[in-house]
Structure 1
Amino acid sequence: MSHYLDSDDKAYNRVYKQETPDILRAFNDFNTAVFAAEGRELPLKYRELIAVAVAFTTQCVYCIDGHSKNAVAAGATDAELAETAWVAAALRAGASYTHGRLAFKFTEHERRHEHTYA
């Protein structure tokens, strides 16, 4: 397989429906509540843009496809999608920078004792 996001991928939902229908139903109910058009504090457009940013960060092509379209349907502009991409890029870069500090932390003992090996 050389790609993802085939138009017939949703057909595999049958496995979830057959094997774990209760969990699938709970997930769908949860997802429906999170992305309800009304009754939430954050407007749907903002929630969809957040979802797009998370999808960029997790690199879920299915989520990028669906939530980008949903964001535009909720009124998002190309400029807003572009800024969403930059927000996700900044977070990924920031996470690499801050997690880089862990490399120093985890190797601190080895650096202090680097010349004690026989």
Structure 2
Amino acid sequence: MSEYFDRTADKTYTKVYKAETPDILAAFAAFDQAVFAPEGRAIPLKYRELIALAVGITTQCVYCIDGHSQNAVKAGATEAELAEAAWVATAIRAGGGYAHGRLAFKLGEDARPHEH
């Protein structure tokens, strides 16, 4: 997906949201601003940005990784903290594979011949 990423040019497509769904875009922007408000939240901004970075890594959203890694650094995150956020995301994604593997065993039981 990253081969499609163009930080500057991609933002120009926001015009479609502005033209077609300006009310939803405004609501989303207000929501995002509230979530990432510098002050007035229980979790400091740096940690909210590190959480967002980890989620972006987990969902493999290059736009989220770009924006939230930069915002985390601007909020005081170190390279060590970025690295740990990446490892947390990696562990969660791997854990999901492990847990869903167990689910495959469980659901696979339905296909096994049952003794009468």
TM-score range, shorter chain: over 0.9
Task: Give 1:5 deviation, angstroms.
Answer: 2.0
Task: Please tell me whether Structure 1 or Structure 2 has the larger radius of gyration of its CA atoms.
Answer: 1
Matched letter for residue 107 of structure 1: G
Corresponding pairs, count: 114
1:56-103 per-residue CA deviation (whole Å, 9 max, x = no partner) reads 000000110000000000000000000001000000000000011111
The TM-score, its normalising length taken from structure 2, stands at 0.93
Helix, strand or coil for the counterpart of 1:75?
A: coil
For structure 1, which runs of at least 5 residues remain unmatched after alignment? none
1:7-46 pair list within 5 angstroms? 7-46=8-47
For the residue of structure 1 that corresponds to 2:88, the secondary structure is helix
Question: In the alignment, residue 82 of structure 1 is paired with which amino acid?
Answer: A
Q: CA RMSD in A?
A: 1.7
Mark the runs of 5 or more structure 2 residues left unpaired by the alignment. none
Amino acid at match of 2:77: A
Structure 2 equivalent of residue 3 of structure 1? 3
| Distance in 1 between residues matched to 2:110 and 2:50, nearest whole Å | 43
Q: What is the SS of the residue equivalent to 2:3? A: coil
Cα deviation, residue 110, structure 1: 1.7
Percent identical? 69
Moved over 2 A (4+): none
